[in-house]
Structures are given as structure tokens and as C-alpha cells.
Structure 1
């Protein structure tokens, strides 16, 4: 059994299924910022690194390799992408490369790397103040996208249609710390708005070769913000074999020099072909890997573990279903939750998970410019077709029983 170092775990609800499956096939040593809790049954060893700074991660991985040796090191946690890449390079294990990891973490570096190679993407400029932002927006033409340089989960990302909206949303993006950058700053990016369907492709990469694992399709809401209210994936999605998308993914990964690991690449399918929205140096969140397994039988976590150890991943598809997740939100901007639970007797047979995310007494806010955590529950389902899946998710969320009041 190969020894694999896993850096960070993230929320149990969203990542336990991957750690469980990896722990069944690998001797896992966990590097984490606190004593292990729910992770304990799935790991053989734990290194606690308070604060989880990059140098601490590197030191912990060095220590594991020196004591017990290791075949691979990996992470699916956004905050630890750079630290894990540095650790892999330091001990001579497969990894994306520190510069590639930084290019995934820093959206401006991504844009610069792609521009140098002529890879299709929206026009984008880094600005320091509202005056610069307005000048760039006028040059690109409204609407434009305001985006923090190193944000996560679409926080403070907004579509703006005029100068007044721009000033308001610039302030939110500017307040968001650019954590994880080599030279931290709070610069803001102004980008051309692209039209067309948006998809994400999760891939594993082995020695520079990109292997698409699954395509996910987004359901969006709460404009002008880019809140992801749901996702769905198809086990036999024809886009996985689309030559234009395959070539585009290879271009993107080559441009940033990504060697080995996993990526979550978001792109728009425009009339001119695929164009990059962003690339992240880890697997997608929101239970996307769980949905992939449900739809196709492929476990993205195991695929990442394999390439991290230098092995060929097993991407054999054993199912061809549609699987999805949909999130529920409160009715008012400030809502006090009095009671929340799913009526299990009302759930459709296609339903998988049905989970409240808040507790009675909590006050929940709808998505707005400074917060993107308005979800109160979610449900997953799997079905033979997209239409059947959508109907099942409708019924699953209809089984959510809530009582609440304006806060």
C-alpha cells in the first residue's frame, strides 16, 4: 500500500467521502492545522501544523518523508494549493510546480500567463482604485465583471452595468484580502463580460498530460452576483470528448506550466470558442466529485491520489446517469431560522443527500456583495436524464420544512 500525504481536509460534509475512499487504498498521513477529529478512521498518521503556513506544511512533509518515506502529496483545499506544491517540490514528489500553483491561486498571474501564450480569455486589467476601474470599464464597454485578485467561491465578484454600480462593487472587492499571494495586496480585476454557457471541467494532470474527469454545469442566481445555486453533471457528457475543449484545456495547462495534480477549470463556450474564466489548482467544491462518482462511477479523489503518486488513474466509467445538487436559500435578506428539517417521507426515490446547513436560532443573509454564504440546505439526486434529475431536485427541496421570521 502506497503512502500518501494529504494536506488539509476542509468541511467534513463536503470532503469526508473522498478521504474515506482514499484511506481504503492508501496509507494516509494527514497534515492539518488542528488535532484530527472525524478524519481519524481514515488515516494512519497526523502532523498538526498550527496556522498551516506554507513553510510549516513544507517542514511537516519533509519530516514525514524523512521518517517513513512517501509516494505522493496532495491537497483539495484552496488555501493549501501553494504550500502543497512547495512541499512536493521540496521532497521530489510529483506536483503541479510552485509557479503553476501560484498562477492558479492568483487570477492576475493566470491572465498574464495565458496572454503570453495567446490563449483565449476575456480582456482583463488589474486596477488600484475606482478611477482606474472606471477607465478600464469604459475601454472594455459595460457590462464588466469586478473580481478580487485572489478570492474564492465567487465572493465579491459582480456584474456591473455603469459607473455608479462599479464604485460600489469595487469597494467590496478591494476589501477582500488577497490571501495566499507571494506579494499580498488587495488589487481588483476588471474584466470583459463574456456571453455563452459556462461549464467547469475537473481534470487530473500527469506529467503535463491533461485527463478530463467530468464536466459540471452551473445553475446561477442572485444577479448581479455569480452565486452558484446548483450544479449538475452527466456521466457520458459529450463535452468530455469535444476536441475544441480538449485542445483548450491543454493550452491553458501548458500556459501556466502545470505538471501533476488536479484542476477545476471554468470556461465560457462563446461563439468564438472556449475562453477561460479561471483555473483552480484543486478539485471543485460543492460536492462535485461526489456527483461525478454518482453519475459515472469515477472517483475524482482516487484519480488525484493516483497521479500524485505517479500512477495512471482509473477513469473507467461504469454508469451514465445525470447527478446534481441544488441549494436552498432564505426568503428575506436577513432571516432568522426558527426550525428546519427535511421530511424524509416526501423525498423522491432519486434523492441522495438532503442536508440542512443551518440550525434554529441562526440568522441567515441572502447573497450580497460582502457575503456569499446564504445557503440553508441542499439536496442531491441522480436520474437517467437531465429532465428527470431537475424534477427530482425540485421535489427534494420541496420536502424541506422551514419556519422562519425576518431578523
Structure 2
């Protein structure tokens, strides 16, 4: 049931700000919802009734956000009672279904076809390859045996991925034939509630070199980058993102080869309006696109970008979806990084303690991310089991990394192993 509101003022429809697999989304999403609410009155579509979101919205509807027809019907019902001036969806898992709502109302944003192309790695790979954009060679496979044959053609090491999941869920590297059975089992068992995962899985060449992400915006078909994130991963053979660095003056923002490649990729995927998060490997043979996501980056990368540059990614996202040419002017030049803290064993949280940051150099924020009682699992069961994060600033990337390393002991986790609790209790 929709909450009653007395005014019929125009609203911005925001879809998907709430919980993610029973995790509190407030640390990840509040800055985006706040920016949207500063531009327009917000009506929220989410899978649950609002909680912390209430201070930013004028109304809400709880419905199945993973069903495109349900969202389209809900959008039409909302539009019958008040003008809807745009639709903003920052949630990877429901981008495709949200596109049905935007199309139902004739709003700017990802079309159903472009949303599907971004969400489905098989479709994305094919479109980008057809457009002549640098891609890893790939195949799709349905069994360990097919994966072994494909890997012989592609040459090891290779990476297996589910076609429609995000956050590196189910992404596994195989260095040789002996790794393949376990890698395929991890990839094929990965799932996310409400998201359809086809039973053929992408297997592709492993790309050497560091990985960067680029958050950008497309307005009337023109692509503009906002900021670069330098990614850190761990947990091989899985790809667990442990942190990111963002510098306002990152030289890659002026790299014509990368920027031309990204502009061409967005055209190939049919993106004319929206904000995106692209991932690029800086390989020995040049930059290669890993993927283009049809929403702003996760892991608070856009928040780091805002702190580093002064560009508000939430405001930019709303502007491009409501017919306003965004302002990309920067009023600062800083370097910031984030480090996530994750458990080393499957566990149930007893308590999280954040140490005193007084006297520590460059610490901007240190925050616990889950409540006592939360169960956290390591890959391959979960890929984003974090209990805290710290953000630090430095004069450059090297100093920022040093300060993040100094903060390694800032967050402490008191827990009980799930195996012990399950055996005895």
C-alpha cells in the first residue's frame, strides 16, 4: 500500500535503495538518496517498507522490485495520481526490471535492451566485440567438461563468471585443469535473491595488469567521465574487492585511448541517458574493458569521488535522467581511499569496535557496517561480507595507501564461528 500524501506535486521515482540480502544499505546509499531529495520530492519503490529512508521521501510503495511488469504497473499507478519527472535506480540487481518502469512512463534512462546488455555479460561481450572494442576472448559453457575444452582454446589462466550477477559474485579464476571442477562449481552455484541466472556461464581469458573503474554520465548520447577508482582485490582464486583509491587529478581521465574506448562502448550498448560504472584492465597490450554497469559504482566509490572532486554523483545521476545537462565542474583536488574489513572465517558478529581515530593521520571516516547477530560468510558463499570500513586522505596515492595501512587495526571484530555455534546450539 502506498503511503498517503496530501500534495500532488511532481515526484522523482527512486527504485531500490533498501536492504541488500538483509544487509543495511544505509552506509552505501544514503548519500545518493539525499542528493536526489535535494533536487526533487522523492517517491520510493522498494521491496520493503522504508525505515531510514523516510526523512528523504514524500511517499513509498512496497512491491516486488525484481519483476519488471510489477514495477511498470506500479509506475503507471503512481503516474495516475501525480506527475513523475524521472526514474533513478542505483541497484544492480533490479536495473533491468526498473527499465520496464521507465519505458512504461516514457522516461529517460536505460532502455530495456540497454539494461539487459549491461546486466548480461554474454550479450555485453558480444556487442562490444562486434563494435571492435578491446575485449577478452570468451565462450559460454554449461558444464565442467565444456569449460575444460574452452579453457584449452582460450589458454590458462581463465576466469569463469555468471552472466547476470554483480559484486564479483561467482567470479573465479582457474590456473589449470586441476582447478576447473571447483571453479565451475563455485560459479554455477552463485545466486542472488530475485535475479535470474542463465545456466550457461561465461569463461574468458584472464587479463593481466591493474584494474580501474570509471564512473561517468551519458547525457543525450554524450559520455563524460567523472572520476577514476583504483581497485584493490584479494582472496584468490576469487576476486574480493578490498578497497579503492580515487584521485581528482588521476592522469587516466585525460587518456584519449581509454576515453574514446568508453564512449564507443556506451554507444555500442545503446546508452543515451544515465550514469555508469565501467571497469577497465590496464593490460600489457593496452586497456581492455571488463564490463560496463548501467548504474553508479558500488563500494562507496562515487562517494570517494564526491569527496575528492566536489562533483556530486547523485545530483549528476538525477540531472541526466530529468533532462538537465549536468554540471561536471570540480571545486577541489584531493586523493582519498577506502579499505573494507572482512572476516577470515564464517562467523556470527558479537560486537564491532571502532578505535579512536584521534591522532591518526588523514582518517576521514571509520564506520561499522553490520549489527551484532549478523552472519558473515567468506567466498564462495558470500563475496561482500564486510563488517566495517575506513576512509583516509593523503597528498597522493602513496600517502593515502600508507594511511589506510596504518588504520588496519582500527576496526576489531568479536565473533563466534558459525561452525561452532551450529555444532552446539
TM-score between the two structures when normalised by the length of structure 2:
0.89
Indicate if the aligned counterparts of 1:88 and 1:95 stay in contact, CA closer than 8 A.
yes
- Tell me the SS of whatever aligns to 1:109: helix
| Cα distance, 1:2 vs structure 2 | 6.4
Name which of 14, 17, 32 aligns with 1:9: 17
For residue 115 of structure 1, report the CA deviation from its aligned partner: 1.9
Matched with 1:159 is 173
Q: CA offsets per residue over residues 194-231 of structure 1, 9 Å max, x none? A: 11221111111112211111110101111111111101
Q: CA deviation at 1:50?
A: 3.7
Note the alpha carbon deviations across 1:128-180, whole angstroms, 9 max, x for none.
Answer: 11111001100111110011111211112111111121111101211234877
| Change beyond 3 A, Cα 1:177–1:377 | closer
Q: 1:292 to 1:36 in 2, by over 3 A?
A: same
- 1:107 maps to which residue? 121
Deviation for aligned residue 1:368: 2.5
Give the drift of 1:45.
2.1
Displacement of 1:394: 2.2
Q: Contact between 1:4 and 1:28, CA under 8 Å: does it hold in 2? A: yes
C-alpha separation in 1, matches of 2:82 and 2:373: 48
Residue in 1 that maps onto 2:45: 31
The answer as to whether partners of 2:163 and 2:197 remain within 8 angstroms in 1 is no
Alpha-carbon distance in 1 for matches of 2:374, 2:215: 34
Q: In 1, distance between residues paired with 2:125 and 2:412?
A: 45
User: Is there any run of 5+ residues in structure 2 with no aligned partner, and where?
Assistant: 1-8, 19-24, 421-425
Map 1:266-305; keep pairs closer than 5 Å: 266-305=279-318
Q: How many residues align?
A: 404
Secondary structure (helix, strand or coil) at the match of 1:239 reads: helix
User: Does 1:375 pair with 2:374?
Assistant: no
The aligned counterpart of 1:205 is: 218
Residues 113, 32 of structure 1: alpha-carbon distance in 2 compared, 3 angstrom cutoff:
same
Question: Match of 1:104, SS?
Answer: helix
Name the Cα RMSD after superposition.
2.1
- State the match for 1:170 in structure 2: 184
Structure 1 residue 65 and structure 2 residue 79: aligned?
yes
Instruction: Decide which of 257, 269, 273 is 1:260's aligned counterpart.
Output: 273
Q: TM-score, normalised by structure 1?
A: 0.93
Give the match for residue 145 of structure 1.
159
| Structure 2 residue matching 1:306: 3-state secondary structure | helix
Deviations 1:65-121 (A, max 9, x none): 232112211110112211222222221111121101001111101011112212110
Which SS does the other structure have where 2:29 is aligned? helix
Contact kept? 2:127, 2:269, Cα under 8 Å: yes
1:355 paired to 2:363:
no
Distance 1:405 1:42 in 2: 37
2:341 is the counterpart of 1:333:
no
SS of match in other structure, 1:111: helix
Classify 1:200/1:180 alpha carbon distance in 2 versus 1 (closer, same or farther; 3 Å).
farther
Structure 1 residue 317: Cα displacement: 0.6
SS for the counterpart of 1:201 is strand
Q: Corresponding residue for 1:81?
A: 95
Change (3 A) 1:179 1:41: closer
Counterpart for residue 385 of structure 1? 396
Of 373-382 and 144-153, deviating more is 373-382
Distance 2:94 2:224 in 1: 22
1: CA distance, partners of 2:282 / 2:276: 18
Distance in structure 2 (CA, Å) of the matches to 1:162 and 1:251: 34
Structure 1 outlier segments of 4+, above 6 Å: 178-181
Q: Are the aligned partners of 1:378 and 1:397 in contact in 2 as well (CA < 8 Å)?
A: no
1:56 to 70, 76, 95: 70
Give the superposition deviation at 1:184. 5.1
Q: Distance in 2 between matches of 1:245 and 1:63?
A: 43
Is the Cα contact below 8 Å between 1:14 and 1:287 reproduced in 2?
yes
Displacement of 1:51 in angstroms is 5.1
State whether residues 28 and 42 of structure 1, in contact with CA within 8 Å, keep that contact through their aligned partners in structure 2.
yes
Cα pair distance change 1:222/1:311, threshold 3 Å: same
The answer for unaligned runs of 5 or more in structure 1 is: none
Is contact 1:177-1:185 (8 Å) kept? no
Structure 1 residues 360 and 12: alpha-carbon distance in aligned structure 2, compared to 1, 3 A threshold? closer
More deviation in 219-228 or 17-26? 17-26
